[in-house]
Amino acid sequence: MGFARSVARATVSGSSGIATPEQWVVDWLRGGADTAAGVSVDQSTALEYGPFFAGLRVISEDIASLPLPVYERLDPRGKRRARDHPLYPLLHDAPNPLMGSMQFRETLQGHALTWGDGVAYVVRNGSGQVTEMWPLRPDRLTIETATDQRGRIRVLYRYRDPVNNIQADLLPDEVLHVHGLGFDGIRGYSVVHLARQSIGLGMATERYGASFFGNGSRPGGVLEHPGRVTDQARERMRTDWENLHKGLDRSQRVAILEEGVTWRQVGVPPEDAQFLETRRLQVTEAARWLRLPPHKIGDLERATFSNIESQQIDYVSSALRSWLVRWEQAINTQLLLAADRQRFFAEHLVDGLLRGDIQTRFQAYSIARQWGWMSADDIREKENENPLPDRRGETYLVPLNMVPAPAPGEQTEEPGRASTAMARQLRSRSTEGRRRIGESFKPMLADADERIAKLERSEVGALASKHLERSRSADAFVAAVRELYEDRIADRTSKAFTPVISSLVSEVAADAVADVGGDEDVDLERWVTSYVASHVDYRIGSAVGQLAKLAGADDPTESVRQRLDKWVDERPERTARWESNQAANGAAREAWRSSGVRRLRWVTVGEDCPFCDSLDGTVVAIEQPFREKDSAVTGLEEKLDIARDTFHPPLHPGCDCQIVPD
């Protein structure tokens, strides 16, 4: 296993003498610690007791079978699977060449439950990353504490393997140590040692039952003769009785007693000694020691169809959860490097153990889908299904009648103003639904723009190196950039944005038609094509113009690279906010126009903006712009020049305004 570094620090500890043997030597010679039931119990013999082995197996197998991924924390919230982290394949797949993740974790968990400590030897490379993990036999391991020269307490793991001639002292960074409840926070109590009386009683009842059925002659009684018999006659009588009646196959034979011999029972029958009740109680006792619901180890006496699901949830939240937390904390503190602990962490997936029946699961999915905290792809992932094609399952749905509640103290509308209140509520529903749809598409819009920005950084960066840095020809650079954008960048931009804009427009159009009572589908495919084409033309003109201007800077290569980096870092978020509002309002306007709406009203939303506030409540014919090109909007002492006919929001970058039918 690669103990080379540790063997060099090995020391030889004192051994037990014949006159003063250590307790473990005495227990080993006796076969374990004595119990009041007369049975010796140790970590090996306890596994022969069915209820205890069943509980040990249940916990070890359930914990080991759970997926154990390594996650990376995302900013500001969320997480993703860190499949590229060196620890991921060790915990999820195989910690060493000889065993899989389940066998490894099952072994350590079994050690922790029986011996109190599950310890594995950790192999690290030169940079400190874990490369292998090997379980250590607990019967050959001792855990000690010592104080160094600075007064700090250190833990030392001494491993002695005489079979393979290994004597190694391991430091904490060379082991993975998982243990349960203990007296010092370093070592765990051995459940076998603490429960030896209970386990011994259970083993004793098993042995008694086996002896009872194996000895059908009822040795708990005597044969009485009215006179005196010789030793030879007594031995012959006993032998004949056992030959005729001892054993299961002879236990029901008829006994014939001669010469006045009578049978008198002196033992207590099993039913009088409550033998069966004792055995049942010991099953419950074993479950109690391991913190298990009895049905997990086969005791279904008190299990019903109505409570077994609740018992399963209680099992996960009590018996398993404490062990899962111990595992996760041991991994995070002992295997992850200090620099990685704030960014990465390991966590078990327990959803599989908490799954209800199919009807209950689908009812829960339906509620989650309708109220907007799960998408179709989220549900399919939990059911081990692939995402829907073309990213159709990424959309989150919400009820359109969900509007903000009135502020405290706000008065209800007077009866005479009921129609106005209804119109305000419908407008609020329309704008809120469209805003939510736009918000759900922001990540996809940002992703599309980020991919284009990274392509620009790569391609334009190469042109800058070629024309600005080496040949120093600004004209050649501008010409090459224009050709790049009008050909490849334009094509890639159109392909990246068309499916996203098309899906966004489809959802907004259906929502807008429903707002005005329509029931026919509106085909906006040609409008989407025209919209994306205009978006691409604007992007190409803006990008080429900026790069051409930077080509004349004092340090053109560096200026161009800084601008490209800025596009990658900042532009996707701005593009997503602008397009999610502009495309949504534009699609709603086209849908309403097809449905016969004749007038639109501007609704100011979001933070106070003097320019938007001046348009709030403005009503125009649906074919007319709210503001014409080359006009201006005045707010306080400032002025906003309008560079295009504004038929719908946004009015300026950061604008969250909406339009509604009037």
Two structure tokens written together for 246 = 């001892």
122 phi and psi angles, rounded to 5 deg? -110, 125
What pLDDT is attached to residue 319? Answer: 77
Does the pLDDT of residue 413 top 50, yes or no? no
- 504 pLDDT higher than 60: yes
Query: Which letter does DSSP use for residue 600 in this model?
Result: E
Q: Identify whether the C-beta of residue 448 lies closer than 8 Å to the C-beta of residue 496.
A: yes
For 619-659, how does the pLDDT look when each residue is reduced to its tens digit (9 = 90+)? Answer: 888 888 887 877 766 654 555 666 677 888 887 777 788 88
- CA pair distance 197, 464, nearest whole angstrom: 81
Query: 6-10, 180-184, 360-364, 486-490: which range is least confident on average?
Result: 6-10
Average pLDDT over residues 70-83: 86
Residue 427 — pLDDT band, cuts 50, 70, 90?
very low
Q: How confident is the model at residue 396 (pLDDT cuts 50, 70, 90)?
A: confident
- Domains of the chain, by residue range, sit at 1-12+40-220+267-283+316-346, 355-397, 417-596, 598-662
Lowest-pLDDT choice from 204-218, 277-291, 372-386, 572-586: 204-218
pLDDT tens track for 22-58 = 555 555 544 455 666 667 777 777 777 778 888 888 8
- Full-model pTM: 0.49
422 has a pLDDT exceeding 50: no
- Tens digit of pLDDT for each residue in 328-379? 999 999 999 888 888 999 998 887 666 655 666 777 778 888 777 788 888 8
Could you give the percent of the chain with pLDDT greater than 90? 10
Of 122, 124, 163, 156, residue with least CA distance to 141: 156
State what percent of residues in the chain have pLDDT above 70: 73
> Quick one: pLDDT band at residue 441, thresholds 50, 70, 90?
confident
CA–CA gap between residue 434 and residue 178 (Å, rounded): 52
As to burial, measured by CB atoms within 10 angstroms (0-12 exposed, 13-18 middle, 19+ buried), residue 99 is: middle
Q: What is the mean pLDDT of the chain?
A: 77
pLDDT tier at 417, thresholds 50, 70, 90: very low
| 147-180 pLDDT tens trace | 777 778 888 888 888 877 888 888 888 899 998 8
560 has pLDDT over 50 = yes
pLDDT at 430: 59
CA distance 567 to 453: 6
Contacts by residues 156-164 (CB-CB < 8 Å, ≥ 24 positions apart): 157/119, 158/11, 158/13, 159/3, 159/6, 159/121, 160/13, 161/137
Structure tokens given for 327: 């595992």
Residue 534 has pLDDT above 70, yes or no: yes
Spatial contact of 210 and 247, defined as CB atoms under 8 Å apart:
no
* Stretch among 148-152, 538-542, 595-599 having the lowest mean pLDDT: 148-152
Q: Which residue carries 């799954």 as its tokens? A: 355
Confidence of residue 436 (pLDDT cuts 50, 70, 90): confident
Give me the mean pLDDT over the 69-81 stretch: 85
Q: Give yes or no for residue 134 having a pLDDT over 90.
A: yes
User: In the structure, what pLDDT confidence band is assigned to residue 506 with cuts at 50, 70 and 90?
Assistant: confident
